[in-house]
Each structure stands twice: as C-alpha cells, then as structure tokens.
Amino acid sequence: MKKFLIIGVLLLLPVSSRAAVIPSNGTDTDVQRIHDLPSTVDGDIITIPSGTFSWTHVVNVTKGVSIQGNTTVNSDTGVCNDQTVILDDIVDLFTAIFDGNITGNKAWRLTGITFKAGSRNTNVPNGIIRVHGDSHRVRFDHLHFTGQLKQSNGISIYSGIYGVADHVVIDQIDEQNLQNRVFNGSTPYGDQEFSVPAGYGGPNFFFFENWYVDNSGHVFSAGGGWDASSSGKYVIRHSILFDVEILCHGTEGSRLRGGRAYEVYNCEYHWDYSTRMDGIRSGGMLLHDNTFIGVRPSGWDTQAYRQIYNYGGPWRGSPGTNEWDVNDTEGNGTHVDGHAPFPYESGSCSGSLGQQGTITVTGAHQPWIPGQWAGFNVRKASDNSTWLIQDNGTNTLTITSWGDPANNQSLAPGDAYEIHRVLQIMDQPCAGACNDAFVDGTTTLSANISLPQATIPVVSTANLPSKGTADINNGFTTIVYTGKTANSLTGCMLGSGSYNAGAAVKVSKNVVTGEQTWPHQQREPCYSWNNLHTDGTHINIQTSSSNILLPGRDYFNDTPMPGYTPYTYPHPCVQDWPECNAGASPTPSPTPTATATPTATPTATAMPSATPTPTATATPTPTSTLTPMPTQTPTATPTVTPTGTPTPAATATATPGP
C-alpha cells in the first residue's frame, strides 16, 4: 500500500488567539455543561482527558466547537493508542453518543477519541456520531471504533452536511454493526440533488479519507461499510478496507429518494470470500485506481430492485405499468408519453409460488416460444406485486424477486397476472438529473376511515393528481386510488389500519404535468477504470438488471470519465481547519499545548485507567473461496447476536506524525 500524504496520527489542535481551551472531567454531563455555557462560543476547544469514561447520555452539539481527546490513530497500519476512551452505555436507544445540529458557517470538529462497547447488550440504531444541518465545515478525525460496539451505525451524515471524516480506524466489529450512513441530500426527501448533475470531482460530497476498516471474518456483512439514501453523496478514498461493502439504497419504500452518487478511489481492498460487491441501487458511482488483494470479487453490481419487488409507498414496484417509469407503450420496445403500457400477455396462475421460482400459468398467446419473455416483467393484478422474468417455457414462467425474508410476494392458483416491459426506472442505477421537478399535493381526511375501503373522504382534492398512490398519516400506510371527486378519492385499494379525521394525506406529483408521470430523467453513466487485482485482472462494473442497464450506455468499464478530476486531497478541512479553504497550504504541525487534568468531582463517572498500550490489528489471512451469493444484500439494521470477548492483539508503537 503506498504511503499517503498525511500519516494518520492525531496532532493537537492549533489554538488561535481567539479560541478558549476548556478542559472537561471527561463525563458526558460535564462536556454538555461546558458546551451549553454562554461563555463557550464558536471556535472554542473542549478537551477530554486521558482515561476511560462511561457515557449514558447523548451530548448535543449546536456550536462550532472542537471536542478533543488524546487518542492517536495510524490509518496506514490500524495501530491506535487508545488514550481517551468513551464506553457506550447510552440508555436512550434512539440517540447517538454525539448528536450535532450544525448550521450556517459553524465548524464542528471531533477528534482524538476511542469508542468502545459498555455494558449495554442492545443495539442502538442512530450511530456513534450523528450530524445534521447545512454546514460544510464538519470534520471527524483520529477516531477509533472498536470493542464490539452495539451500534448499528458508526458515523451518520444527514441533511446537507458536507465535510470530511479522516484518519479513522474501525475494528473488532460486532456482526453487521458500525455501517456509516450518508443521507445528506436536501430536506425533506433529497429531490434537489436529482434535479442537477451529480457534480463528480466537486466539493459537495461528504469525504471519508484515510480509513482503516477491518471487517474480516464476516461474510456478506455490511459491518464497517457505507450506505446512502435521501440523495446522499459521498467519497471514499485513500483507505484500506477488509471485507467492506459500499452501497447505495434505492428510491424504493418511502418518499425518500435513493442514494445520489459516490466515488471510490485509491483504496486497497482485501477480500476473504468470493462476492459481487453491492454497488448501487440508485444514482451513480465512479470507481478508479483501486487495488484488490486476496479472493477476487467479480465486480461492482448495479441493481434496480423496484422491478423485482413492489415496495408500496409512493414509488411502488416497476412491472412495466408504473407511471413514474418509462414503459414500453407500443409493443416494440419504445415509449410514447401519454400512451398506456402495452399488454404483452395476461392470464392466470395454475400453480403456487413463493418469492421466486418457476410457475405454470395460462396465457392468451400460448404456447410461448421458450425464452421469449426473458427480461420482461410480471405484475400480479390484485396488489401490484412485481417480478422480473428470467426465462419461460411454453406455459411456464421462471421469475425472480427480492431475496429477503421481508418479501411477502406470492402467487396462488387463480391469481391474475400481466406481462409488461419497463425500459427505464426512475432513479435506477446510473440515472441522473430529472428535467421535471416533484412536488407533494396535500390534504387531510374529512372523516374517520378503516382501510381498506373503496372511497376515502378528504377535505379537498384540488391539488392532487387524478389518480395515483397516496400516503396517509405521514407514511403509516399507502393506498392506490384510480379516480377522484371534489372531496374524495375513489377506486381505492390496499392500505390497512384505522385513521381519524384530520390525518394528513400526501400525494407526490410531477410539477409539469400535475400527475404521477415520468420526470424525463437523464442518463448519467457510471465509470470504472484502473481497478486492478494483484493477479493482473481488472475489476469492473457488472449488473443484475441487464434488461435495462447496458454497457456502453449506462456504464463504461476501463474508461475514465471524460472531463473528471478528483477533488483536492487532502480535503481542505484537513489542510486548513477551520476555514476549509480549497488550495490553502497545509497547516503546519502545532507545538503541543499541555492541558491540565481537572480534579474529578464526587459525581463524575470517569474511570481513569493506566495509560493504555496501543494495539495493532493483524492483517487478516484470506480464507478459502466461498460460494458467492450475489443477490444477498447486507441489511443496515439487523438483529445481532453478541459474540465473545475478542482475543487481545499484539502490541505495537504508533508512528509519530511529521
């Protein structure tokens, strides 16, 4: 692995003439108390001393301060000197350890801290660090996540936050935990990012650089990896990754748009098992100059899940009849706006089928030519369940669906089906800006309802589409309606539960047409180049959705993206904190300033310990090749079975910085 420009060791923060350095006693209550003091202002530094501290409550950060411990990290080797250790004993299962709301030009930095599991055995979903707001000056650096943390997420980025997380080590991961989430699209849903190009090579991403993530031993696990939704945009670069999955969820089950874009480059991948890397389910990706060691992965996948599962919600499935998509309307692989989807075939099921497999059916145009429906789509007429056809016989269909226990799609004898063909799915992989914007039409229930029911009374339908999918009570249930009067939705199907008058009803629509129609989304190809395994072969983009994603149109392999230049490295917030000015000269190494250790109070929960010895993370040895499971997608918030206490690793000395 080539040496990076900055050795991953914590340097004490330079102190400006205006900044105050305020020592804490290391407890969550004292850090929060200092933060909340009127005298603590933007630019100040709150220090946490060496020692081990059990934290039971979240620290909420709203000021542009730095919070600094004494842990040092070497992200080239994974060696950490865990001087300042916070034990995760958070009692509120819906909070993080640090939760930041950073707005405007405020600059928040969190640095020099080790996080380990405490005594709690229950997973917390919101992550170690959670930040939302609209600041572009956020930096998390020289952090160590270790010790079987019971946290589904590591760092979670929301709602317009840009910046950098650098020199971070994650190891001793508990199953699927410590996945990093990037949901930093515009509020509330991420529509804005899908109205403009991705902006590859620009500053409007959250950057993860100089990381060392060891997820070895966990097969098909999301642990320590990355995921995006709500038009999240992120970059992973100059990092060392052991069995780490990087992905984007799609525009699928909720009103949120899927991940918008990511870049991965100058990283060193190590794989212990055979896999097709998850890749993306929406948006785009650039992949270049990465090195692969160990078992060779087959490539990065591109997957359009809405054609294999009806998620419900505003976007539903994509069986070739969804108004948000480009569907074959002419029976020859072409689409004309305003024309109905072409009905290639219809009939009923003679047999039964669970999620996927082969089923015998009747059809108006049987006997079929074997293979003629491969790449077409099946829709179950009663509930819009959605499958992709892999193959067919003279009277059978072999269909595939989402391979997850949550998938409840099925077919039974007598069920009516239809065959249609989708050509382009809204927000599919390698899709870009929409020419038509979205808006939400809203109203409220005018009377109590108990779903399902055919007619739903509302205050007004004036700003609602003539037909479509509606969310009731802020997404608690979804119904499909086929018509409307001035004060009701008619022909309603699906939905469950009882709701009172006044509950919100929301319907997304194309602002140009006023209906739920295709937003004329442009294609924005994905690119892969110079990604090499040590055996000399190239690692590139593949697809599980070859019926709609084509090489040379939707993605290009071994082809640099025209006009692309990577963004400044190191990130400006690394070179020039806290101003974060691109092109600034690197900040010189400051002279360390001693900070007095405060006297502990009788109520403090700090547990000072002897100076810890840094631990080295051993490089994992590749195991024998396992049978690949390319359709299995890691779940971000699984139920986790605790594992035993890890065996201590050999000690080593951290490399000092320049």
Summarised one tens digit per residue, pLDDT across range 398-450 is 999 988 888 999 999 999 999 999 999 999 999 999 999 988 999 999 999 99
Check residue 312 and give its pLDDT: 84
Check residue 583 and give its pLDDT: 62
For residues 225 and 170, what is the distance between their CA atoms, to the nearest angstrom?
10
Q: Which two tokens stand for residue 521?
A: 């989304």
Residue 109: CA count within 13 A, CB half-sphere: 26
Q: Cβ distance 193 to 184 under 8 Å?
A: no
Q: Stretch 511-531: mean pLDDT, rounded?
A: 96
Q: Which two tokens stand for residue 419?
A: 């065959």
Q: Would the pLDDT of 277 be above 80?
A: yes
Torsion (CA) 270, 273, 278, 279 in degrees, nearest 10: 40
6-10, 12-16, 292-296 — which one is most confidently predicted on average?
292-296
Check residue 159 and give its pLDDT: 93
Top-confidence residue, 254 or 349: 349
What is the DSSP code (8-state) at residue 575?
H
Check residue 213 and give its pLDDT: 98
Check residue 355 and give its pLDDT: 86
Please tell me the least confidently modeled range out of 346-350, 484-488, 555-559, 608-612. Answer: 608-612
Report percent pLDDT > 90 for the chain: 78
Q: How far is CA 171 from CA 114, 269, 617, in A?
A: 11, 15, 8
Helix (H) or strand (E) holding 143: strand 137-145
For residues 638 and 565, what is the distance between their CA atoms, to the nearest angstrom?
37
Pairing of strands 377-380, 137-145: unpaired
Top-confidence residue, 598 or 133: 133
Check residue 575 and give its pLDDT: 96
Detail the DSSP E strand segments found in 266-415. 268-271, 277-280, 284-288, 291-294, 300-302, 326-327, 345-348, 357-360, 377-380, 386-392, 396-400
Q: Would the pLDDT of 653 be above 50?
A: no
For residues 285 and 263, what is the distance between their CA atoms, to the nearest angstrom?
6
Q: Would the pLDDT of 614 be above 80?
A: no
- Binned at pLDDT 50, 70 and 90, residue 611 comes out as very low
Report percent pLDDT > 70 for the chain: 86
Q: Would the pLDDT of 17 be above 80?
A: no
Q: Return the SS3 of 25.
A: coil
Top-confidence residue, 127 or 394: 394
For residues 628 and 274, what is the distance between their CA atoms, to the nearest angstrom?
5
Q: Please state whether the peptide bond connecting residue 188 to the residue before it is cis, i.e. omega within 30 degrees of 0.
A: yes
Q: Would the pLDDT of 641 be above 60?
A: no
Mean pLDDT of all residues in the chain?
Answer: 87
For residues 362 and 585, what is the distance between their CA atoms, to the nearest angstrom?
71
Q: Which residues pair with 207 in a beta bridge?
A: 164, 235
Which domains occur in the chain, in start order? 21-304+523-575 (2.160.20), 305-424 (no CATH), 437-511 (2.40.10)
Pairing of strands 247-248, 226-228: unpaired
Check residue 543 and give its pLDDT: 97
